[in-house]
């Protein structure tokens, strides 16, 4: 995850809550991608360090556990940069220009000059971030599968060129599809920091309630007595994620018959959101800044050791080494 500052409920429901569960089944690596932040925010790096700490705190608050998973900072594992350089040598530029987010982001972030080499090449860095741990799976939502596909293509190309003792060095990771509900923000569009429509994981109860109060609803419900269509209302989408089936059915019926008001309806979703957020916020408050830094440092050390194992194989396969270094 890029260090863009405090995470919001869309980040939590779409990624973090899944990652927390994966820790029980897999050996997991989670990291804060501070180099990736530079691909778009290279001109002003003043917030990256503070944002990194905020994201790390949100990771821990959500329940990522440094005793079970490797939680680290990308820029502390220089092997990612080395693999990025090597994979960059074999990746055709056409593959990068075809990545959908390349053109989309250039359009969406028109106020930034994204004609830089780093932005074009970020999928190679992403492939390096993944392949350096020789993983079986990459947990992603539906909208991220294209990135994993490119990573698989890069691995395939590497394996075609280079082998170590006749064996492939970079296995093609598979997509592990995780449920990632599209959470609407307060303006009804996808919850996203760039739209300014988020509910943060750190928002206290009164702020959550206030934000929901101003959230858009079905425009047909102007007066309390107007009937509405829950399928046209983003608040109902929030109920689908945060409320039980009983409440959701009560909302759908009450909305269609004008049996409930929007304020009441929003109050119920706020209750359920606060219930999810409370333990997260309590856990967040239990960590000091020094502890978070130590966790990131320790995790980065573990990640470096694992990444170096892969790099020794990569260097040997590419014959970028003197024979005495590999013991061969």
Q: Minimum distance from CB of 249 to ligand SF4 (Å)?
A: 12
Of residues 4 and 217, the one with the C-beta less far from ligand SF4 = 217
310: helix, coil or strand? helix
Q: Minimum distance from CB of 216 to ligand SF4 (Å)?
A: 9
Q: Minimum distance from CB of 207 to ligand SF4 (Å)?
A: 19
Of residues 112 and 240, the one with the C-beta less far from ligand SF4 = 240
Q: Minimum distance from CB of 211 to ligand SF4 (Å)?
A: 14
- Which of 243-246's residues contact partners 24+ apart within 8 Å by CB, and which partners? 243/268, 243/269, 243/272
Q: Minimum distance from CB of 248 to ligand SF4 (Å)?
A: 10
Alpha carbon distances (Å) from 38 to 4, 22, 44, 208: 11, 29, 9, 31
Of residues 16 and 265, the one with the C-beta less far from ligand SF4 = 265
DSSP 142: G
* Core vs surface per residue 196-210: b (16+ CB within 10 A) or e: ebbbbbbbeeeebbe
Q: Is-contact 124 87, C-beta < 8 A?
A: yes
Please, which residues have CB within 8 angstroms of residue 110's CB and are 6 or more apart in sequence? none
The pairing of beta strand 29-32 with beta strand 70-73: parallel
Of 9, 6, 19, the residue nearest 198 (C-alpha): 9
Q: Minimum distance from CB of 185 to ligand SF4 (Å)?
A: 15
Of residues 173 and 254, the one with the C-beta less far from ligand SF4 = 254
What is the binding site for ligand SF4 (CB under 6 A)?
A: 217-218, 221, 228, 230, 233, 235-236, 251, 255, 260, 262, 265-266
Of residues 247 and 281, the one with the C-beta less far from ligand SF4 = 247
Of residues 15 and 260, the one with the C-beta less far from ligand SF4 = 260
């Amino acid at each position: 995850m890029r260090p863009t500052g405090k995470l919001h409920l869309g980040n939590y429901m779409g990624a973090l809550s899944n990652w927390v569960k994966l820790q029980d089944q897999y050996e997991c690596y989670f990291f804060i991608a501070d180099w990736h932040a530079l691909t778009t925010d290279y001109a002003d790096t003043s917030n990256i360090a503070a944002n990194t700490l905020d994201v790390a705190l949100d990771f821990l608050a959500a329940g990522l556990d440094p005793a079970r998973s490797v939680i680290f900072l990308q820029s502390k594992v220089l092997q990612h940069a080395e693999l990025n350089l090597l994979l960059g040598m074999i990746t055709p530029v056409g593959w990068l220009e075809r990545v959908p987010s390349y053109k989309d982001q250039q359009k969406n972030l028109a106020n930034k000059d994204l004609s830089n080499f780093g932005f074009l090449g970020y999928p190679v860095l992403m492939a390096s971030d993944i392949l350096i741990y020789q993983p079986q799976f990459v947990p992603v939502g539906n909208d991220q599968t294209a990135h994993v596909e490119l990573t698989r293509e890069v691995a395939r190309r590497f394996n075609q060129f280079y082998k170590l003792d006749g064996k492939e060095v970079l296995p093609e990771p598979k997509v592990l599809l995780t449920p990632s509900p599209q959470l609407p923000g307060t303006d009804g569009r996808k919850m996203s920091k760039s739209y300014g429509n988020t509910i943060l994981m750190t928002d206290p109860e009164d702020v959550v309630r206030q934000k929901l109060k101003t959230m858009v609803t079905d425009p047909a419900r102007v007066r309390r007595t107007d009937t509405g269509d829950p399928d046209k209302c983003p608040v109902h989408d929030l109920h689908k994620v945060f409320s039980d089936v009983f409440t959701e059915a009560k909302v759908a019926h009450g909305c269609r018959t004008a049996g409930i008001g929007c304020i009441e309806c929003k109050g119920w979703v706020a209750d359920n959101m606060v219930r999810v957020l409370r333990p997260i916020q309590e856990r967040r408050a239990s960590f000091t800044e020094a502890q978070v830094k130590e966790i990131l440092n320790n995790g980065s050390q573990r990640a470096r050791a694992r990444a170096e194992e892969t790099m020794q194989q990569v260097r040997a396969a590419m014959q970028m080494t003197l024979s005495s270094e590999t013991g061969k």
